[in-house]
Amino acid sequence: MNSTPTPTPTDASGSGTTTLWRNARLATMAGPVAWGWVGHGALLVQGGKLQWVGAESDLPVDLKPDAEVDLQGALVTPGLIDAHTHLVYGGDRAAEFELRLQGATYEEIARAGGGIRSTVTATRVASDDTLFQTAAARARTLMAEGVTTIEVKSGYGLSEAHEARCLRAARRLGRELPLAVRTTSLGAHALPAEFEHRADDYIDAVCAWLPAQHAEGLVDAVDAFCEGIGFTPAQTRRVFDAAQALGLPVKLHAEQLSDLGGSALAAEYGALSCDHLEFLSPRGIAAMQATGTVAMLLPGAYYFLHETHLPPVQLLRDAGVPIAIATDHNPGSSPVLSLLLMMNMACTLFRLTPEEAFRGVTVHAARALGLADRGTLAARQRADFAVWDVDHPRALAYRFGVNPCRRVVFGGVERAREA
């Protein structure tokens, strides 16, 4: 499939206009069939939503859409969801990459005051507009591969004012780009230099910032880095209590470099997801299973940190814990901007099947964000979908270093190529 169909005016979000996208091969990711496959399908879009999805032969005979797009047999999938990113920050860490290649470890660099702290310094001196523009450029790179929803964490400001600036930059992405953005407050990412040896005081401060962030509408969820070089389970618990008091859902960077039992703690708070999980224990898995918490695997960080301890994929599968995949885009441990490459790495490094990897960036990624209106192609879902130049969706995980995304529809509206 090399021909690109002529663009046809598509439904403007909120209007009553109906557009029929027909002659498509659909990987709906809904229902019991593998990939939710519909060999010769159609999508009816109205008012930014999917009104009808199914086999073309089942279309109502008297259907008279206002516009029609013939997809000439192209593959259509739900828009992709990158449910774990740290997209807003200043500077980069290419020099640290060189140090690590010479033998320094990620933890040694962090303990010596480099790592996250060096990005905090660069973030604090960046203007609001620079923070926004650099994050927008990164978001556009993700979007070019069919991404329609992203999560963006703060965590490189680490003061009340700078954390708020980062969250505002994230919100601005959602206002100015054809992209849905969910924000996560991650003040408990690292200890800023001015709180050296006073981690508990810093956690008090992080908890105290949350109500104002929430009142300004800047926070959809709250996260923490529970790790030897981050915060203890007891400190994480205090952050979660502050989130819970505001009715905000939590998630956690857990069991990335060691097993501190963060996943079980997060599950106790009904966490949406636990993320990284290379050192996840059977006890953590049982706790996540009991609460339906999503296991968010981040193969970019695993790869870039030369990690060798694999997340317990088979045990997660056996327990029926939903597995999501994300980029974890950040300047230190995962400077990657390709969710398709993460699907490939989830298969090659973590042994997920291509279908599991694809569920991980659609259905299960939506669940990790607490969003029930996306991640599948089905009636009443948001009309967020991507059109691909591959024969079968398994090829999206198979190829790497190429972008077969041809068209993207976001909220019923087709994105301009250079959006």
Query: Which spans of this chain sit near Fe ion (rule: CB under 5 A)?
Result: 328
Region label for 370, one of left (φ > 0), alpha (ψ between -120 and 50) or beta (otherwise): left
Strand order across the beta sheet in which 221-226 lies: 80-82, 147-153, 180-188, 221-226, 252-254, 273-276, 294-297, 323-325
Segment interacting with ligand DI6 (CB under 6 A) among 39-47, 68-76, 329-337, 379-387: 329-337
Residue 88 to residue 330: CA distance in whole angstroms = 8
Residue 368 to residue 68: CA distance in whole angstroms = 34
Residue 250 to residue 369: CA distance in whole angstroms = 10
Q: CB 120 → ligand DI6: shortest distance, Å?
A: 9
Residue 70 to residue 126: CA distance in whole angstroms = 46
Among 225, 279, 302, 358, binds ligand DI6 (CB under 6 A): 225
Contact criterion met (CB below 8 Å) for 53 and 379 = yes
Nearer CB in complex with ligand DI6: 143/226: 226
Contact criterion met (CB below 8 Å) for 50 and 383 = yes
Contact criterion met (CB below 8 Å) for 192 and 117 = yes
Applying CB under 6 A, does 116 fall inside the site for ligand DI6?
Answer: yes
Nearer CB in complex with ligand DI6: 23/121: 121
Footprint on residues 343-402 left by ligand DI6 (CB under 6 A) = none
H or E stretch covering 274:
strand 273-276
Two structure tokens written together for 357: 């990897």
Among 330, 344, 362, 381, binds ligand DI6 (CB under 6 A): 330
Applying CB under 6 A, does 256 fall inside the site for ligand DI6?
Answer: yes
Rg of the chain taking only CA atoms, in angstroms: 21
Among 115, 262, 312, 393, binds ligand DI6 (CB under 6 A): 115
Q: CB 223 → Fe ion: shortest distance, Å?
A: 8
Q: CB 333 → ligand DI6: shortest distance, Å?
A: 4
Among 119, 154, 235, 236, binds ligand DI6 (CB under 6 A): 119
Q: CB 333 → Fe ion: shortest distance, Å?
A: 7
Among 253, 359, 367, 406, binds ligand DI6 (CB under 6 A): 253
Applying CB under 6 A, does 333 fall inside the site for ligand DI6?
Answer: yes
Footprint on residues 260-299 left by ligand DI6 (CB under 6 A) = none
Among ligand DI6, Fe ion, none, residue 255 binds (CB under 5-8 Å by kind)? none
Nearer CB in complex with ligand DI6: 43/142: 142
Residue with the CB atom nearest Fe ion in the bound state: 328
Nearer CB in complex with ligand DI6: 97/282: 97
Q: Taking Cα atoms as reference points, which of 337, 333, 382, 339 lies closest to residue 358? A: 339
Q: Which amino acid is at 367?
A: R
Q: For 146, list phi and psi in degrees, rounded to 5.
A: 90, 15
Among ligand DI6, Fe ion, none, residue 42 binds (CB under 5-8 Å by kind)? none
Q: Which amino acid is at 282?
A: P
Contact criterion met (CB below 8 Å) for 184 and 219 = yes
Q: How many residues bind ligand DI6 (CB under 6 A)?
A: 13
Region label for 303, one of left (φ > 0), alpha (ψ between -120 and 50) or beta (otherwise): alpha
Give the interface with ligand DI6 as residue ranges (CB under 6 A): 115-116, 119, 189, 225, 253, 256, 301, 328, 330-333
